[in-house]
Structure 1
């Protein structure tokens, strides 16, 4: 249930760390770049966008006019034009046209109030998926408004891809996900800014995954988080699990936000039997536990538990912390010590104090 590209943000940070220059105080340049280049698959691309990061060697992290972020190495660039105008996102009709040109024959567009869903599945299924997205959109915005956080309107159309079956889903997703595609049913891609999934035989069992990935997309498109910034995975994944919690009393399988996530609560209580004393420190200081197959399950469960604890007991402080994180710039990283110091500053307590409050709170949950 992780967002794709999260695993390779770290290599990007390493590759750019000695050479990059942020363009603009907020990581956004007002100038428009028109770049012709060949992508990693040697396909010619003509992209209009704005530079998020420019490396000293001429490489770019470019935000396209449809919301896609391109990583362009200097050797890929065939031509480049710059003017002083401000980037204007393309309209929904243009995004629809591009999607239909990109996808194989047989795909159509299902449009909702806030989403463009490109699909080759049944109208009934894509309508159901669209209704879930819209339900989350309303709930997500209402939830953060109630917490005192003002979110932005998405700058670009929110795009979803829904395939007719697992086979076609895997064929499309493998170049983005790799061989891990066989073990997932959907994902959000930080680079393309899209959710991708397929028509599942028992979709009600998998609602949590759909909501989880759609939560990632909303977080990165409403200003709650910035793509390719140093977003701690315990925050990103913990919030997505917080929003995904299934509601089996609802005919849709999902209705409310912030319910106790029974699966992750059980996993965390099991983890408590062997949980090391420095568990909070390792969760907050870096993302290694999420990337290790042996520790990922406990990391996800602890991330959910910590988010739940903070949103229920230290809401004001945690919202202030999230607002500070939302100011992050692409490819700027914090050291493990800086991550912990920032957390302690905004929450108003050191990790030892938080630990003494956190664990008893979670163990009392039912």
Structure 2
């Protein structure tokens, strides 16, 4: 009898998941497996597998991507899949970060922070989560409960933040105060104010928390998918939309004008008046290229388009978000499909859409 290579056994083990997901991904029965990857034990459930790549969603919420040949000692360990509880994740964080940090739990969050700084961080993250849920629920969006405790890690210095990020393969600069890691499902940032809450730099901390917590909540509430490619304009457009106080703190800022992101509006109106080319909207939809070429313009136009759609047509905007969040795991998202998905919801008359969009944004004061 021909002996199967170890990674062939892994693919055979995962095959029922793949066939079940192909037949009906919503009803496919997940189960728990254990394997060794680069000397580290991984426990989770498969969300995608092929002869070239496997994606495993860990019990702690992290996503592991690897080639089948890289996995060792794999086995099915349980029927079904049960994520870790908040207390289990908290214990793991305490072991990972040690006694130089404290871990504070709120309703949805576990925040790793320097000792004695609970009030500066934990409740703020929880408030942002509640604001996100309230904003989308009030506009008819279906917001799913988070499957895992949401984790944020605040480092006291840039050096510690940079060292930790390097282990994840992320290069950061002092100007990059924080980011959301879809792979680890964590927000990582450093305290640019060095613990001084009355420091002017604290505003930069607050802005980073709003933007990155929006990413994290969106990817955990079914608004975005962590396993399928998402258009960058929609991901960054929503996060920049929440930078406005009337969005993330609607109870204190009640006027419609408080929902406008003034910085992004100024950028976009100036760009539209001076150098924006006709047809730019379609270019933004079909490719993420503009984010690498002209990031300030890309972020501003993404904000403007998201703001326009959610303010004028929230029902179809919710339909579009549902469409892209349901894309197959690990699939490419070519330009033609991006355009087709957008047109299926908003129509194919790009000239009319662009004219209405520009007229609306240019009228904002």
Flag whether TM exceeds 0.5 (same fold): yes
1:100 aligns with 94
- More contact order relative to length (CA 8 Å, sep ≥ 6): 1
Secondary structure in 2 aligned to 1:47? strand
Q: How does 1:230-249 map to 2 (within 5 A)?
A: 230-246=229-245
1:146 aligns with 138
1:69 aligns with 63
Q: Quick check: 1:309–1:361 contact (8 Å CA) kept in 2? A: yes
2:358 aligns with 359
Q: Quick check: 2:102–2:115 contact (8 Å CA) kept in 1? A: no
Secondary structure in 2 aligned to 1:305? helix
1:12 aligns with none
2:260 aligns with 260
1:7 aligns with none
After TM superposition, the runs of 4+ consecutive aligned structure 1 residues lying more than 6 A away are: 253-258
In the alignment of these two chains, the number of paired residues is 333
CA deviations 1:138-157 (Å, max 9, x no partner) are 11111111111221111111
Q: Quick check: 1:60–1:71 contact (8 Å CA) kept in 2? A: yes
Q: Quick check: 2:57–2:63 contact (8 Å CA) kept in 1? A: yes
Instruction: Please report the TM-score for the alignment, with normalisation by the length of structure 2.
Output: 0.85
1:270 aligns with 270
Closer, same or farther in 2 for the Cα pair 1:256/1:46, shift >3 Å?
farther
Q: Quick check: 2:268–2:301 contact (8 Å CA) kept in 1? A: yes
Deviation of the 1:177 alpha carbon: 5.5
Closer, same or farther in 2 for the Cα pair 1:66/1:256, shift >3 Å?
farther
Q: Quick check: 1:207–1:254 contact (8 Å CA) kept in 2? A: no
2:112 aligns with 118
2:290 aligns with 289
Q: How does 1:129-208 map to 2 (within 5 A)?
A: 129-176=121-168, 178-201=170-193, 202-208=201-207
Q: How does 1:50-69 map to 2 (within 5 A)?
A: 50-57=45-52, 59-69=53-63
Structure 1 window deviating more from structure 2 (211-220 vs 199-208): it is 199-208
Secondary structure in 1 aligned to 2:364? coil
Deviation of the 1:204 alpha carbon: 1.9
Q: How does 1:213-232 map to 2 (within 5 A)?
A: 213-232=212-231
Which of these two proteins has the greater Rg computed from alpha carbons?
2
Deviation of the 1:63 alpha carbon: 0.1
Q: Quick check: 1:209–1:244 contact (8 Å CA) kept in 2? A: no
Q: Quick check: 2:31–2:78 contact (8 Å CA) kept in 1? A: yes
Q: Quick check: 1:132–1:211 contact (8 Å CA) kept in 2? A: no
Q: 1: distance between equivalents of 2:161 and 2:253?
A: 24
Q: C-alpha root-mean-square deviation of aligned residues, in Å? A: 2.4
